[in-house]
Amino acid sequence: MARRPLLIAAALAAVLLVATAAPAGAVPPFGPIVTVAAAPGGCSIDAVNGDATIGGGSVIRGFFNFIGPGCDADAIWFAGGFGTTWSSRPPTAAR
C-alpha cells in the first residue's frame, strides 16, 4: 500500500513535466502574409496546390496552381522571393 502514493506522485510529476514543457523552437515565426501572384481574371479560387523550398541566401522558390471555377488547373506558376520581394513567371501548361 505504501507504493501507491509514491506511484501516484511520480505519475503526477511526469504529467506536470510534459504539460509545462516549452514548445520546440525548430521553426522561426512567420512574417506577414504576402501575395506572390494574383489569380488570373475569371478564376474563383477554391484551393491552391504547390510546393516550395528554401535555397541559398534564404530565397524561397516554388510552384503552384489555382483550382476552382474558371481556373486552369493545368497551369503551373513558378515563383521565387524573400520577405516582401517576390517574382512569378506566367503559367506554363502542364505536359
Whether 37 is covered by a domain: the verdict is yes
Which among 65, 36, 34, 32 has a CA at the least distance from the CA of 51? 65
Residue 11 belongs to a domain: no
pTM: 0.58
Condensed to tens digits (0 to 9), the pLDDT of residues 34-93 reads 888 888 889 999 999 999 998 888 899 999 999 999 998 888 999 999 888 888 887 765
N-to-C CA span, the chain? 72
Domain annotation covers residue 3: no
Q: Which domain holds residue 47?
A: 29-93
Neighbouring C-alpha atoms within 13 Å toward the C-beta of 42: 4
Q: Indicate the range of 3-12, 20-29, 34-43 predicted with least confidence.
A: 20-29
In a domain, 17, yes or no: no
Q: Tell which wins on pLDDT, 55 or 19.
A: 55
- Compute CA distances 53 → 21, 78, 83, whole Å: 30, 12, 14
Question: What is the number of domains present in the chain?
Answer: 1
Does residue 2 lie within any of the structural domains? no
